Structure formats: C-alpha cells, structure tokens
Structure 1
C-alpha cells in the first residue's frame, strides 16, 4: 500500500486496479455525483475504466486522486487529491466522499492536508478548486481551507465557482 500522507484521523493512499469496487461504490450513488458532471456508474467495469484511464495515469505526475481511509478502522470513505487538467493547465483539488462520511469534517481535513502537501511538498505554485454553484457544502470546504474565490465559470455546461490558493513569492532580503 502506497500511503501519500496521514492526517489526524485519516490516511490517503494511491488507488490500485483492485479498487474498482471502491470507485463503483462511490460513483454509483446519484446523490454523490449530483454536482460533479459525471454519469452514475452502472457496474464495476466502468469503475475500472475510470481507474485505468483517469486516476492511475496521474500518479506518473506525483498527483492523483487518493483513496481516503479512516485510521480508526481502515474504512474507505472516498477520495481526495490533486489532478492536472491538461486542457487548462491547472492543478485541481478535488474530493468526493461516501454519504456516511458527510458532515464529519473529513472532506475539510483531507482537502486541507492535500493543499498543504501540494504547496509545500510538491512545490505547486497555484492550486485550484472548483465547485458547482449549488454545492454549498463543497464551497464551504474550499473556503474553510483558505482558498480564495476568483471567478464564476461554466465547466462542461455547468456553473461553477472557482477558488485558488498559492504560496506567496519569497524574496531574499540582504
């Protein structure tokens, strides 16, 4: 198991092809994918394709959507991570949790540590987070972790709020 980092209550690890059932569990619930501009999955084969075509290739860039597990019982609760979006050149912070994990602060905790990991450890200059305008919970997560609203945009025909965060440029003072 390739653990990326730990938080006080969670650990985030790389997915493997064997995790198709976890992606299926997450993406087969219409409420979970309601605001993410993706279809509801109908079977594990579709989940495996998401893993092999979208999630696993990001690991070559030291980025990716990482499986979130609780430290207490190793329960899978969703994913969080950073993804390079080739069309726009941005590094996107994203998260998706099972409904049983909603309202417990897990999304904020995972997103905060992912943001720190990206800026500090991966030396990413700017990280972007986007949320559908009606996804109030996701917008609150982005604001809680210190991301700043930059603009409204239309992505895949859907209205989203775009947030960014970057480390300030440092200057050497002699």
Structure 2
C-alpha cells in the first residue's frame, strides 16, 4: 500500500495531491457543465456530489494499490482548485491512461500542458509503469494539441464507447522529448 503524502508532485505553477473525501462538491462542480463534459464520453452526464464522492473513493484506492491515480490540481500561488489530472486504467485494464480536466475559467492558460508534461515525466522517471496512453476526440483540438506538445507519439486511432479517437502513447524512450 502507498501512503498518501500531502503533495505527490509539484510543477512550475501547480501542486498535485490525492483527492480527499471532502473534495466531492468541488469535483462535482468541475464536471457540472455540458461545455466541459462534451468530450468526456459520459453521454452528457453531469456529476452529482454522490458520484464525485464515489470516484474519489475509487481514485484513493487506485493510488493506495498502484501509486498513481487522478490527482487534484491546485494553483500554488493562491491555492485555487484548477482541475484534475492523472492516470487511470484504460478500459481493458492493460495500460495506464493519462487524462486531465481543467475548470472552464482557466482554459487557455497552459495548465493542461503543464500538468500532462509533469505527470508524464513523473510516471516514467519514477518507473510507475513503462508506458502509458492517452486519447482525445479529434474535435477536441486543444486536447490533441496538448498531447502532441508534450511529445506523445500518435498511434492508430482507437474506438472508445463507439467514438473514433486520436490515440497517443509514451514510454521511457520518450523522456528526452519531455526534458527539452
């Protein structure tokens, strides 16, 4: 079991930590707008506080068992909640999958790129796994750009819940692209 430290990681502007059970309202608010949820494969489902609490419980268990999960992103300068980012299991359970969601008011500030790059480096340098994947709906150009910007390699498209997605992967050989 992995003990839960105060902060898992810090990057230039962000601190990454395991969600606490009391964070459910904040997490539900992150996932409460159709605009923010349109690319997240939930058929328009907005998160209730109860659903957010159940996700937090799963993420805490994943962290305890595997040393990675979806993490709470907080801006270091003022402690403001920015979103969530981290790793989960891809549908088939065979590989870790990078994902991120930033609150709408902070879109376009580079937080997704900062978080994705920091987490990719952390995952590979700490040898949490030897590779991970990510994918995005092609219409989500901002997310596709983030994955390209951090140096992930585009792979064959994959179908997720009936939607063809642009797919990427990264492994330890790709660390040089992260360290530029």
Gaps of 5+ in 2: 175-180
Match 1:153 to one of 145, 153, 158: 158
DSSP-derived class of the 1:168 partner: helix
Superposed structure 1 runs of 4+ greater than 4 Å apart: none
**Other-structure match for 1:115:** 120
CA distance in structure 2 between the aligned counterparts of 1:107 and 1:130, rounded to whole angstroms? 14
Deviation (angstroms), 1:47: 1.6
CA distance in structure 2 between the aligned counterparts of 1:86 and 1:135, rounded to whole angstroms? 20
Deviation (angstroms), 1:2: 2.3
DSSP-derived class of the 1:161 partner: strand
Deviation (angstroms), 1:123: 4.0
Q: TM-score, normalised by structure 1?
A: 0.90
Alignment of 1:48-127 (within 5 A): 48-52=53-57, 54-59=58-63, 60-85=65-90, 87-127=92-132
Name the Cα RMSD after superposition. Answer: 1.6
Gaps of 5+ in 1: 170-174
Deviation (angstroms), 1:33: 1.1
DSSP-derived class of the 1:80 partner: strand
> Is contact 1:63–1:84 with CA below 8 Å preserved after alignment?
no
DSSP-derived class of the 2:108 partner: coil
The answer to whether structure 1 residue 32 and structure 2 residue 33 are counterparts is no
> Is contact 1:129–1:142 with CA below 8 Å preserved after alignment?
yes
More strand as a share of residues: 1
Deviation (angstroms), 1:154: 0.9
Change (3 A) 1:10 1:148: same
Change (3 A) 1:153 1:86: closer
Deviations, residues 78-117 of structure 1 (Å, cap 9, x unaligned): 0110112362401101100101110000100011000000
Matched pairs, number: 168
Segment of structure 1 superposing worse, 8-17 or 54-63? 54-63
Segment of structure 1 superposing worse, 117-126 or 39-48? 39-48
Deviation (angstroms), 1:118: 0.3
CA distance in structure 1 between the aligned counterparts of 2:112 and 2:82, rounded to whole angstroms? 10
